[in-house]
């Protein structure tokens, strides 16, 4: 039930808001937008494009491995393809689609805000992300893709063994992406802290937002380790420094430590948005509140916190002292507890409620199944002898694909179905949606489950082929067929949504009886999100009917409409008491221009033109000065 009001005063206010918040038309509107929903959609389409690219790479890998001694890809091409597949799926697909697309589009809506805290910074995050993705793919297109695996271990990645520029594309490209992720994370935290609707104290904030708060903090504290590692690597490769070179006092294990100090929190950065999506979909389709709300909120934060103390379990086989490895093995077992709290809370909510297994909830059930499988194999790796036996085998590949594809991507796909009516204003095809789920589910099992067995049989990961007579051919063929089935399922999802975009029946504002605020506004939402800023009294704002009726009355009275410009309220951090009214910036060319200047810096660094790179730094400074010369009172 949306805010419906037909009095002339209310209509006038809505018309006034429409006029104030009107976006520039056409392509210019998209290039200069600072609207979180438009930026979210650009993130969505860009990350789906990279998903398609990463998917094609995965199919190439599977086709090459379908039978022994195949020649679809040369060994060199194979190395580039599997490396870029990993980099794409993690840095250019899962994180951007979950934080950039879902977070950007939904988070301000869920907290009753009209935009993110820093709208221009938000646009900058997107353009830098898009440019860094193109940067990395330029390397691949020129035949200089990175080829040392997504974790890029030295000495293989050092200049001596990888003289090609592929590793430089990787290192500079990931520093480049890191700028975007850091900016986005800062933006999310400030938005969550300061822009919540009046009354939405922290204990009334939806669990989805808790997940994004946790992810943002993880990004802020994890990315610097990766950035530093990449800078040191480039100093070694380009200027002849010796951070990773044993002969001159360096140490290759330094790379592994720095990488995994980032890399393990990264796993939770990937999976937590999926948890957030699950905690949105489950209450809506089981018609009851989440079980153990405070525990789930705490577990979301705790999983990130503990996630910073387990990185050495990626290095059990490198010969570290036993005392150290045992401590990290224990920490890796402890992290099971907050994960299990959430798992049991989801299951209990479904069992205790009255579940309606529509397509979005089906994807969440699939997610629970796969997260259980991937989680259980994860616990096995906390056992040091087990890890030492199976590290670098296909068992690891099975484990992390169940976690990343099964547990992180399934809720993303479920979320696409769940919020499709809100974003497009139309319904998808329910029956086709269920079919697409089952096809993808079967494809996922067939692709990744046999990898466990192959790992136990001794098949190593990252080999471009294998010999006849090892007994691996049958299972590999099954996996390859499974991957085609999986791709077919994903195409069904894409077709369903693409066709429904044109032909789907109108969805209305709240087709599901959803629990959070985004269902209170129209589908799709207007640029200002809410004609009247909602006031919130519980974590399930849409189920408080009285409050939403009161919103409509306030629109008639003109209370909390904020119609004097691009305005949104700011509130106190803990209790969300209304503090002041902020004016948000209008559309601007500055973010795109700054992203272009930063792209120039990285391109010139890659080519080794330090002087030209410095010129681009100066250009960026000029753009920044222009950026800050447009102040709120001038707009």
Q: To 10 degrees, the CA torsion angle through 8, 9, 15, 18?
A: -140
Our CB check for another protein shows the closer of 57 and 236 to be: 236
In angstroms, give the least distance from the CB of 157 to another protein.
17
Number of residues in contact with another protein under rule CB under 8 A: 59
Our CB check for another protein shows the closer of 256 and 332 to be: 256
Binding flags for another protein, 369-408, as an x/- string (CB under 8 A): ----------------------------------------
Among 49, 570, 615, 619, binds another protein (CB under 8 A): 570
203 binds another protein (CB under 8 A): no
DSSP string, 404-436: IIIIIIHHHHHHHHHHHHHHHSB---HHHHHHH
202 binds another protein (CB under 8 A): no
In angstroms, give the least distance from the CB of 247 to another protein.
10
Our CB check for another protein shows the closer of 85 and 535 to be: 535
Among 8, 26, 71, 249, binds another protein (CB under 8 A): 249
Question: If you ran DSSP here, which 8-state letter would residue 90 be given?
Answer: I
Q: How many CA atoms lie within 13 A of 221 on its CB side?
A: 16
Contacts of 500 (CB under 8 A, 6+ apart): 420, 424, 426, 427, 428, 429
619 binds another protein (CB under 8 A): no
The three-state DSSP-derived secondary structure of 220-242 is HHHHHHHHHHHHHHHHHHHHCCC
Our CB check for another protein shows the closer of 130 and 232 to be: 232
189 binds another protein (CB under 8 A): yes
580 binds another protein (CB under 8 A): yes
Our CB check for another protein shows the closer of 111 and 261 to be: 261
Task: Assess contact for 394 and 421: CB atoms under 8 A.
Answer: no
Cα-Cα-Cα-Cα dihedral sign, residues 137, 139, 143, 148: negative
Question: If you ran DSSP here, which 8-state letter would residue 112 be given?
Answer: T
557 binds another protein (CB under 8 A): no
| Among 128-136, 241-249, 418-426, 461-469, the segment contacting another protein (CB under 8 A) | 241-249
In angstroms, give the least distance from the CB of 189 to another protein.
6
In angstroms, give the least distance from the CB of 221 to another protein.
5
| Among 39-47, 190-198, 346-354, 389-397, the segment contacting another protein (CB under 8 A) | 190-198
Our CB check for another protein shows the closer of 144 and 194 to be: 194
In angstroms, give the least distance from the CB of 240 to another protein.
4
Among 41, 61, 185, 302, binds another protein (CB under 8 A): 185
553 binds another protein (CB under 8 A): no
156 binds another protein (CB under 8 A): no
Phi, psi of 523 (to 5 degrees): -115, 120
579 membership: H or E segment, kind and range: strand 578-583
In angstroms, give the least distance from the CB of 248 to another protein.
5
Closest by Cα among 205, 38, 68, 37 to 575: 205
Our CB check for another protein shows the closer of 546 and 631 to be: 631
Q: To 10 degrees, the CA torsion angle through 450, 454, 457, 463?
A: 180
CA distances from 188 to 98, 181, 274, 411, 575 (A): 13, 10, 16, 20, 18
321 binds another protein (CB under 8 A): no
| Among 202-210, 217-225, 379-387, 465-473, the segment contacting another protein (CB under 8 A) | 217-225
Our CB check for another protein shows the closer of 9 and 574 to be: 574
Question: If you ran DSSP here, which 8-state letter would residue 477 be given?
Answer: H
Binding to another protein in span 99-118, by CB under 8 A: 117-118
579 binds another protein (CB under 8 A): yes
221 binds another protein (CB under 8 A): yes
In angstroms, give the least distance from the CB of 174 to another protein.
15
239 binds another protein (CB under 8 A): yes
129 binds another protein (CB under 8 A): no
Report the first-to-last Cα separation within the chain, whole angstroms.
Answer: 34
Task: Assess contact for 609 and 615: CB atoms under 8 A.
Answer: no
Distance, CA of 138 to CA of 463 (rounded, Å):
25
Q: To 10 degrees, the CA torsion angle through 479, 483, 486, 488?
A: -130
Distance, CA of 197 to CA of 585 (rounded, Å):
19
- Beta-sheet pairing, 578-583 with 567-571: antiparallel
Distance, CA of 180 to CA of 185 (rounded, Å):
9
Distance, CA of 370 to CA of 440 (rounded, Å):
12
Distance, CA of 380 to CA of 316 (rounded, Å):
13
Among 210, 243, 370, 528, binds another protein (CB under 8 A): 243
What are the residues binding another protein (CB under 8 A)? Answer: 117-118, 121, 182, 185-187, 189-190, 193-194, 198, 220-221, 223-225, 227-228, 231-232, 235-236, 239-243, 245, 248-251, 254, 257-258, 261, 559, 564, 567, 570-573, 577-583, 621, 624-625, 628-629, 631-633
């Amino acid at each position: 039930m949306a805010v419906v009001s037909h009095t002339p005063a209310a209509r006038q206010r809505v018309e006034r808001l429409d006029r104030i918040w009107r976006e520039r038309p056409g392509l210019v509107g998209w290039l200069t937008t600072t609207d979180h929903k438009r930026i979210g959609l650009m993130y969505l389409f860009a990350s789906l494009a990279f998903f398609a690219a990463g998917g094609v790479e995965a199919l190439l890998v599977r086709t090459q491995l379908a039978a022994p001694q195949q020649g679809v890809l040369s060994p060199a091409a194979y190395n580039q393809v599997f490396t870029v597949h990993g980099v794409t799926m993690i840095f250019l697909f899962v994180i951007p689609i979950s934080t950039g697309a879902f977070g950007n589009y939904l988070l301000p809506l869920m907290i009753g805000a009209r935009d993110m805290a820093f709208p221009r910074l938000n646009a900058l995050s997107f353009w830098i992300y898009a440019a860094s993705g193109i940067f990395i793919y330029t390397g691949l297109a020129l035949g200089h893709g990175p080829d040392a695996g997504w974790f890029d271990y030295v000495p293989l990645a050092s200049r001596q063994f990888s003289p090609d520029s592929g590793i430089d594309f990787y290192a500079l490209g990931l520093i480049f992406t890191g700028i975007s992720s850091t900016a986005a994370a800062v933006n999310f935290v400030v938005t969550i802290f300061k822009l919540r609707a009046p009354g939405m104290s922290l204990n009334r904030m939806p669990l989805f937002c808790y997940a994004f708060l946790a992810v943002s903090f993880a990004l802020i504290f994890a990315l610097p380790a990766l950035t530093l590692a990449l800078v040191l690597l480039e100093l070694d490769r380009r200027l002849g420094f010796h951070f990773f070179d044993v002969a001159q006092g360096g140490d290759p294990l330094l790379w592994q430590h720095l990488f995994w100090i980032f890399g393990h929190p990264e796993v939770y950065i990937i999976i937590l948005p999926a948890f957030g999506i699950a905690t949105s979909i489950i209450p809506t389709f089981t018609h009851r509140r989440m079980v153990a709300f405070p525990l789930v909120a705490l577990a979301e934060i705790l999983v990130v916190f503990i996630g910073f103390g387990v990185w050495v379990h990626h290095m059990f086989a490198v010969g570290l002292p036993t005392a150290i490895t045992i401590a990290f093995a224990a920490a890796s077992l402890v992290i099971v507890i907050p994960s299990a709290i959430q798992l049991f809370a989801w299951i209990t909510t479904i069992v205790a409620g009255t579940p309606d297994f529509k397509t979005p909830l089906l994807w969440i059930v699939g997610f629970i199944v796969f997260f259980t499988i991937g989680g259980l194999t994860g616990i096995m790796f906390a056992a040091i002898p087990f890890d030492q036996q199976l590290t670098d085998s296909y068992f690891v590949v099975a484990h992390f694909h169940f976690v990343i594809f099964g547990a992180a991507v399934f809720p993303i796909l479920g979320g696409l179905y769940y919020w499709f009516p809100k974003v497009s204003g139309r319904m998808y095809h329910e029956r086709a949606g269920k079919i697409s789920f089952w096809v993808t589910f079967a494809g996922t099992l067939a692709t990744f489950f046999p990898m466990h067995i192959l790992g136990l049989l001794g098949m190593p990961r990252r080999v471009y082929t294998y010999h006849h007579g090892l007994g691996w051919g049958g299972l590999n063929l099954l996996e390859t067929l499974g991957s085609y089935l999986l791709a077919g399922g994903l195409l069904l999802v894409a077709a369903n949504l693409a066709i429904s975009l044109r032909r789907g029946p109108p969805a209305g504002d709240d087709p599901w009886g959803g629990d959070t605020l985004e269902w209170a506004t129209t589908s799709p939402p207007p640029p200002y999100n809410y004609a009247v800023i909602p006031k919130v009294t519980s974590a399930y704002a849409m189920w408080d009917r009285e409050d939403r009726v009161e919103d409509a009355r306030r629109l008639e009275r003109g209370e909390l409409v904020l119609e004097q410009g691009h305005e949104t309220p700011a509130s106190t951090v803990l209790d969300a008491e209304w503090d002041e009214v902020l004016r948000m910036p209008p559309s601007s060319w500055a973010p795109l221009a700054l992203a272009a200047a930063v792209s120039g810096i990285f391109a010139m660094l890659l080519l080794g033109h330090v002087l030209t790179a410095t010129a681009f730094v100066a250009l960026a400074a000029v753009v920044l000065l222009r950026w800050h010369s447009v102040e709120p009172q001038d707009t």
